[in-house]
């Protein structure tokens, strides 16, 4: 395994000429327009799932008397739908909650999505009477061999990624405790007592991990780092907003961001070859009308979908670190020996880095034919979209988001709306009149 250092403006990936790109990319760039009635199908099965869950939390004596008793009141936003089930295997409820979480992710129904995530976090306390939250050797293998443990781990990582994305959208702290190393180790993360992944010879070292398991460990580590970043960027509660507290919290946040930068640097240096692109292709003429030198000038291909998604999240994290870098730290990121701080130089240097990482996100999404990767591309694309500098790039970014919604049935309109607000543009300016809802047309 070898490390590498990444710099804005440099690219160690393979390049091919335009003709090769056109020929080799023909099959990978096929679109698969889908006319399936996503809303009808998902609503049908969601309704069945809710009915089954409500039945499971209805006292059995009530069911035996003919079901005349009303179903118990539950609150999706409080996440108690799954918790109140009596006599059911917690693992079954855990997996059931994962299905509901994924459904709400499709529609981006904020209250229900948040509620099911909260319910899942509560269910973790019920697994093996809370042993999941304590260090236990039976859980710690990256590739467990018992069916129950495999199900719990699969459910856990599905929850963590959804919790990460929903918390980022809602500007709140994640539900998962990023400091509970016992829980993360039980779920397959390798971390030293300081929470970091290392190449030392210890039991939690990457160097002592089987080659086939390293990609998962590196991906798990990146997801936890991104959760920590989302937590760091979450705003203070209103009750804790006194001026002195804000100043103290600002300093704490700055130190936390610097520490996270170092952790992301260290993570990048440990990447295995699987995380290197199989190809980085310059596109001869952009389909979206953006300039060839802009954010849409490349496609990046990975043969490993897990690595593709992980690197997309990595560049999203780098964008967030740059966007939220405290202003008094900007001078530390500039080069040169000038005595006076040069704001213009700092601005241009930051802009160059932002566009570098935004290009990487967009290039990964454009180069993947995998629905699972595109499913997780919405938040990285939103952050990258904030770096779009002209109407061609903005239209290209919105086209990708709307195509994900059209082809996969997952809501992206809320991110398109947020970007249009930030850009100060209307749907009409991008030719998106057909995307307006009835309420928006009346505004």
As a whole number, mean pLDDT of residues 309-337 equals 84
For 290-304, the pLDDT digits (tens) are 445 589 989 999 999
Q: Are residues 183 and 290 in the same domain?
A: no
Domain boundary among 163, 188, 213: 188
The Cα–Cα gap between 361 and 432 comes to: 23
- Is the confidence at residue 2, as pLDDT, over 80? no
Q: How many Cα neighbours within 13 Å face the side chain of 67?
A: 5
The Cα–Cα gap between 394 and 429 comes to: 11
CB 123 within 8 A of CB 152: no
Residue 263 lies in a domain: no
Residue 231 lies in a domain: no
Q: Are residues 294 and 145 in the same domain?
A: no
Residue 310 lies in a domain: yes
SS (H, E, C) the chain: CCCCCCCCCCCCCCCCCHHHHHHHCCCCCCCCCCCCCHHHHHHHHHHHHHHHHHHHCCCHHHHHCCCCCCCCCCCCCCCCCCCCCCCCCHHHHHHHHHHHHHHHHHHCCHHHHHHHHHHHHHHHHHHHHHHHHCCCCCCCCCCCCCHHHHHHHHHHHHHHHHHHHHHHHHCCCCCCCCCCHHHHHHCCCCCCCCCCCECCCCCCEHHHCCHHHHHHHHHHHHHHHHHHHHHHHCCCCHHHCCHHHHHHHHHHHHHHHHHHHHHHHHHHHCCCHHHCCCEEEECCCCCCCCCCCCCCCEEEECCCHHHHHHHHHHHHHHHHHHHCCCHHHHHHHCCCCCCCCCHHHHHHHHHHHHHHHHHHHHHHHHHCCCHHHHHCCHHHHHHHHCCCCCHHHHHHHHHHHHHHHHHHCCCCHHHHHHHHHHHCCCCHHHCCHHHCCHHHHHC
The domain total for the chain is: 2
Q: Are residues 61 and 166 in the same domain?
A: yes
Confidence band of 168 (pLDDT split at 50, 70, 90): very high
As a whole number, mean pLDDT of residues 12-38 equals 41
Q: Are residues 44 and 172 in the same domain?
A: yes
Q: Are residues 160 and 298 in the same domain?
A: no
For 344-373, the pLDDT digits (tens) are 888 999 999 999 999 999 999 999 889 999
Tell me what pLDDT residue 5 has.
Answer: 44
Q: Are residues 64 and 179 in the same domain?
A: yes
- Is the confidence at residue 18, as pLDDT, over 50? no
> Rounded to two decimals, what is the model's pTM?
0.79
The Cα–Cα gap between 175 and 171 comes to: 12
Q: State the chain's mean pLDDT as an integer.
A: 77
Domain boundary among 159, 188, 217: 188
Residue 12 lies in a domain: no
Closest by CA to 9, choosing from 384, 343, 351, 336, is 351
Residue 253 lies in a domain: no
Q: Are residues 161 and 282 in the same domain?
A: no
Residue 262 lies in a domain: no
Residue 33 lies in a domain: no
Residue 6 lies in a domain: no
Q: Are residues 158 and 304 in the same domain?
A: no
Domain boundary among 164, 188, 212: 188
Q: Are residues 434 and 303 in the same domain?
A: yes
What distance, in Å, lies between the first and last C-alpha atoms of the chain? 56
The Cα–Cα gap between 131 and 201 comes to: 27
As a whole number, mean pLDDT of residues 140-144 equals 57
Range of the domain at 366: 272-443
């Amino acid at each position: 395994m070898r490390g590498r250092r990444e710099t804005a403006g440099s690219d160690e990936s393979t390049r091919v000429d335009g003709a090769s790109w056109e020929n080799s990319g023909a099959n990978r760039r096929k679109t698969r327009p889908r006319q399936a009635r996503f809303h009808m199908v998902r609503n049908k099965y969601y309704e069945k799932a809710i009915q089954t869950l409500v039945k499971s939390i209805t006292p059995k004596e009530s069911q035996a008397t003919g079901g005349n008793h009303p179903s118990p009141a539950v609150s999706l936003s409080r996440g108690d739908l799954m918790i109140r089930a009596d006599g059911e295997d917690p693992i079954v409820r855990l997996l059931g909650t994962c299905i509901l979480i994924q459904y709400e992710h499709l529609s981006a129904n904020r209250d229900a999505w948040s509620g099911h995530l909260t319910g899942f976090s509560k269910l973790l306390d019920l697994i093996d009477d809370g042993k999941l939250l304590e260090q236990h050797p039976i859980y710690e293998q990256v590739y467990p061999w018992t069916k129950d443990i495999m199900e719990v781990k699969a459910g856990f990582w599905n929850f963590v990624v959804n919790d990460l994305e929903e918390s980022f959208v809602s500007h709140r702290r994640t539900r998962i405790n990023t400091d509970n190393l016992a829980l993360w180790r039980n779920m397959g993360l390798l971390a030293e007592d300081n929470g970091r992944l290392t190449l030392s010879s210890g039991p939690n070292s990457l160097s002592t991990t089987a080659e086939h398991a390293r990609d998962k460990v590196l991906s798990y580590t990146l997801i936890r780092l991104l959760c920590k970043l989302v937590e760091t960027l979450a705003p203070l509660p209103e009750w804790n907003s006194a001026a002195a507290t804000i100043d103290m919290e600002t300093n704490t946040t700055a130190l936390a961001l610097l520490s996270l930068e170092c952790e992301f640097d260290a993570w990048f240096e440990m990447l295995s070859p699987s995380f290197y692109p199989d190809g980085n292709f310059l596109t001869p003429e952009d389909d979206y009308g953006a300039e060839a030198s802009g954010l849409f000038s490349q496609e990046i291909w990975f043969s490993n979908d897990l690595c593709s998604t992980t690197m997309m999240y990595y560049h999203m994290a780098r964008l967030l670190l740059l966007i939220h870098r405290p202003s008094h730290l900007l001078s530390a990121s500039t080069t040169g020996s000038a005595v006076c701080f040069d704001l213009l130089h700092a601005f241009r240097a930051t802009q160059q880095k932002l566009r570098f990482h935004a290009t990487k996100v967009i290039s990964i999404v454009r180069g993947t034919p995998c629905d699972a990767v595109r499913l997780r591309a919405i938040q990285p694309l939103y952050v990258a979209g904030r770096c779009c500098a002209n109407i061609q790039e903005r239209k290209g970014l919105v086209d990708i988001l709307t195509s994900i919604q059209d082809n996969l049935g997952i809501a992206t309109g809320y991110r398109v709306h947020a970007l249009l607000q930030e850009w100060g543009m209307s749907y009409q300016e991008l030719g998106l009149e057909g995307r307006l809802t009835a309420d928006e047309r009346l505004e």
